[in-house]
Structure 1
Amino acid sequence: MTTMSENTTTPDLSWIDDITMTELERNPYKAYERLRAEAPLAYVPVLGSYVASTAEICREIATSPDFEAVITPAGGRTFGHPAIIGVNGDVHADLRGMVEPALQPVEVDRYVDDLVRPIARRYLEQFEDDGRAELVSQYCEPVSVRSLGDLLGLRDVESDTLRDWFAKLSRSFTNAAMTENGEFANPAGFDEGDQAKAEIQAAVDPLIDKWIVEPDGSAISRWLHDGMPPGQTRERSYIYPTIYVYLLGAMQEPGHGMASTLVGLFGEPDQMEQVVDDPALIPRAISEGMRWTSPIWSATARISTGPVTVAGVDLPGGTPVILSYGAANHDSDVYAAPTRFDLHRPPLPHLAFGAGNHACAGIYYANHVMRIALEELFETIPVLERDTSAESEFWGWGFRGPTSLNVTWEV
């Protein structure tokens, strides 16, 4: 038996028991910085799960054959089964095969400019002569949800309705606080997610009825038909959980990614000037923005398929682990001065889009939505200034981004 030396002490980790959901939603970085230093794979009672907080451990678990995907309890309660982010094997292969054709680079290159650029210009026309705007609600989120909504086939659903749906689903998905008995601490926190799902079904069911008999090129229509025997379609109950995933994560990520990138650039005026002067730097700025504040901050999980040891921690089979990619992207062992937005840092890979066979299917699409939207913004209003009289607060632990970004310019 190995014994500890007299000079070795077990760290006191009782502070982990005091972590609250309010703390995580307002600013998870402080708690996760301490987790990375003292307990990079630790059980966090308020989440009812182990949490991985370093880049090395997140990547190891995400790519390990000893783990498979699992949806968090709050995520499962919100989306239902089978949501693409929480299934494995043949079901996962079928769902990925269902969504990926429209997201392949060669296909995205075919349609993305014609899809996104007119949408971006339309929203800019609404405020470019005003001299001020709140960019999250007036530009970043609307361009993001409208682009994906049109791609999915939801052209008749108002952008504000799409924004409302993803906000309600986000709050439901991250209603993750658990009691000591393993029950949800706030069951009523799922009510607005249920309301959003009812509204989604009311809007989408008639479209599905039509697409079953009259398929078109929209994504959901293709999900119904592609890969199915002639005369058959996938059941709507089978694809609805993945529709909810898209209406939350896929709609949220580009909007909040570009908003975070803008906040980061405003904090580094020289870098903002460089990007405005040279649009070829926009993709690099977006990559840094996604690392700096990852939109999908800590929303995915894995479960051990058998007993396994990770980072010196013995995990029994069936142990869920939440992968905190937002914390991993601030790992000081990987990134120098990780809390600083730095357009010119060495181009190291980040985990904002996940890793392994459950990495985000829309990486290429999302990056191009953000690129086009920022190109149009800087071309139309190249002299943006941050309105320092209004704070730009970030919110969220599972999904994170600025709640507002007020700007001004000369007209």
Structure 2
Amino acid sequence: MSADGPAPVEWAPTPFPFERLAALRAEGPVHRVHVPGSGDAWLVVTRDAARAALTDPRLRNDIRHSAGWETDGGHAVGRNMLQSDPPHHTRLRRLVAGHFTPGRIAALRPRVEAVARDLLERMPEAGHADLVGAYALPLPVTVICDLLGVPAGDREDFHTWSNELVMPTDAETAAASATALTGYLTGLIARKARTPDGTLLADLASPDASDGLTPEELLGMAFLLLVAGHETTVNLISATVLSLLTHPDQLALLRVRPELAGAAVEESLRLNSPVHAGAFRFAAEPLELAGTRVAAGDAVLVSLAAASRDPLAFPDPDRFDLTRRPQGHLGFGHGVHHCLGAPLARAEAAVALRLLLERHPALTLDAGPESLTWRAGTLLRGLTALPVRLGPLTPPPGPPGADPEGSPIRP
């Protein structure tokens, strides 16, 4: 970090950083901060500056551009797209992009619905439930593990390791999880290469695959797809349901206008920011970012949460509003590193929301919002549990204009 700038502000990830981010944003678009465990960085907090940073080719994701790369980097598993830059990143992304096209996601939708319905069948018809453990977590875990070919019996361990890596409890536990996950994925890849089963991971591990991945790249690809393929979606589903249950006017609007399910997901992406910030970027050369001089080797952290609540881009930004058209929010990033799995996450969240409210129209929160526990890391933010009361299966009379059967969301 350049020495002639202001003293860095301590920036430890917290579950509710929005007021602090707003205060920083009012002072300017870029701030020097110290991130415990990672060192000093420039934190970008306005929407326009964030978009500029995420598309600036001088800011690289490859940690070898960092002034302290020999000791920095955390507990990465393999080498993946998030830690790479074009043209290497372009090659890696091209190998899997075809599996996440709109057509492929549409073909996956029946499976997503089947998994969601099965999970809802397993929940009690009435009474109490933890919506994270019973629904928001197992839905995306099942879908991405199906897609890549992770055996059902291994999925709980996989999620435990994954969650510890993206939102670590402490450095020792994170390191142990990285070691365990690396060993598991190495063995799984070897089995897929020996016995192809038509899954995405088997295709990537095939010795006959064109433009094949190196062992380190294959390990990194498996790690990134499995982890990114569910962690964000768990947080998105649970935060969207919480926002609706704590904004009864918006929930009532959704019951009257079920076509707004996708809008509810989009507004939740903007407001709740399941991804707190993008991966660290590093200046490959001296540059100026929104009027701030950044030295070669400096780290830059783009706050997607701050950018998506920028009042210059989103009027009344702290309000949850299903009628908002939040074009330009950065919930899934921006530029060449825009989340590859965004279409799948959006589809899973919309299906999850629609089927949940269809089956449990009397759904209510079973705890005060202030008592809920959130986990937050530099990258992600999410609920540990979401206690709800499910209510009767038979819907109460709906508001004017609702479906005659009272169903808030039609299949």
- Bin for the TM-score computed over the shorter chain: 0.7 to 0.9
Deviations 1:8-30 (A, max 9, x none): xxxx976x53x352xx3232223
Shift of 1:158: 4.2
| Kept in 2: contact 1:98–1:227 (CA 8 A) | no
Structure 1, 66-75 or 337-346: larger mean CA deviation: 66-75
Shift of 1:408: 0.7
Q: Which amino acid letter does the alignment assign opposite residue 44 of structure 2?
A: A
Tell me the equivalent position of 1:145: 141
Match of 1:122 among 118, 123, 131: 118
Q: Which amino acid letter does the alignment assign opposite residue 90 of structure 2?
A: A
Shift of 1:213: 3.3
TM-score by length of 2: 0.84
Aligned positions of 1:344-363 closer than 5 A? 344-363=323-342
Structure 1, 72-81 or 45-54: larger mean CA deviation: 72-81
Tell me the equivalent position of 2:203: 222
Q: Which SS does the other structure have where 1:49 is aligned? A: strand
Tell me the equivalent position of 1:262: 241
**C-alpha distance in structure 1 between counterparts of 2:161 and 2:255, whole Å:** 33
**C-alpha distance in structure 2 between counterparts of 1:207 and 1:403, whole Å:** 28
Tell me the equivalent position of 2:402: none
**C-alpha distance in structure 1 between counterparts of 2:186 and 2:230, whole Å:** 20
Deviations 1:262-314 (A, max 9, x none): 11111211211222344321110000001011111114232223221121111
**C-alpha distance in structure 1 between counterparts of 2:368 and 2:266, whole Å:** 28
Q: Which amino acid letter does the alignment assign opposite residue 60 of structure 2?
A: E
Aligned positions of 1:362-373 closer than 5 A? 362-373=341-352
Deviations 1:295-339 (A, max 9, x none): 111142322232211211111223221111011111111112211
Tell me the equivalent position of 1:322: 301
Q: 1:211 and 2:200 equivalent?
A: no
TM-score by length of 1: 0.84
Q: Which SS does the other structure have where 2:150 is aligned? A: coil
Tell me the equivalent position of 2:230: 251
Aligned positions of 1:6-405 closer than 5 A? 17=9, 19-21=10-12, 24-46=13-35, 47-70=39-62, 76-110=73-107, 112-172=108-168, 189-225=170-206, 228-229=209-210, 233-389=212-368, 391-397=371-377, 398-405=379-386
**C-alpha distance in structure 2 between counterparts of 1:13 and 1:376, whole Å:** 51
CA distance 1:262–1:228, change in 2 (3 Å): same
Q: Which amino acid letter does the alignment assign opposite residue 376 of structure 2?
A: G
**C-alpha distance in structure 2 between counterparts of 1:313 and 1:113, whole Å:** 45
Tell me the equivalent position of 1:6: none
Deviations 1:124-176 (A, max 9, x none): 1221324221111211011121111111111334443233122211134xx8x
CA distance 1:97–1:226, change in 2 (3 Å): farther
Q: Which SS does the other structure have where 1:234 is aligned? A: coil
Q: Which SS does the other structure have where 2:123 is aligned? A: coil
Gaps of 5+ in 2: 393-411
| Kept in 1: contact 2:275–2:380 (CA 8 A) | yes
Instruction: State how many pairs are aligned.
Output: 378
More helix by percentage: 1
**C-alpha distance in structure 2 between counterparts of 1:236 and 1:66, whole Å:** 28
Structure 1, 392-401 or 64-73: larger mean CA deviation: 64-73
**C-alpha distance in structure 2 between counterparts of 1:365 and 1:401, whole Å:** 19
Q: Which SS does the other structure have where 1:333 is aligned? A: coil
| Kept in 2: contact 1:58–1:328 (CA 8 A) | yes
**C-alpha distance in structure 2 between counterparts of 1:98 and 1:376, whole Å:** 33
Percent identity, please: 25
Q: 1:407 and 2:396 equivalent?
A: no
Q: Which amino acid letter does the alignment assign opposite residue 104 of structure 1?
A: T
Gaps of 5+ in 1: 1-11, 176-188
Q: Which SS does the other structure have where 2:137 is aligned? A: helix
Q: Which SS does the other structure have where 1:154 is aligned? A: coil
Q: Which amino acid letter does the alignment assign opposite residue 31 of structure 1?
A: R
**C-alpha distance in structure 2 between counterparts of 1:256 and 1:45, whole Å:** 26
Deviations 1:215-249 (A, max 9, x none): 232121122249844xx953332222232223333
Q: Which amino acid letter does the alignment assign opposite residue 285 of structure 2?
A: G
Deviations 1:359-387 (A, max 9, x none): 11111111111111112211211210112
**C-alpha distance in structure 1 between counterparts of 2:128 and 2:257, whole Å:** 23
| Kept in 2: contact 1:294–1:326 (CA 8 A) | yes
| Kept in 1: contact 2:54–2:334 (CA 8 A) | yes
**C-alpha distance in structure 2 between counterparts of 1:196 and 1:59, whole Å:** 33
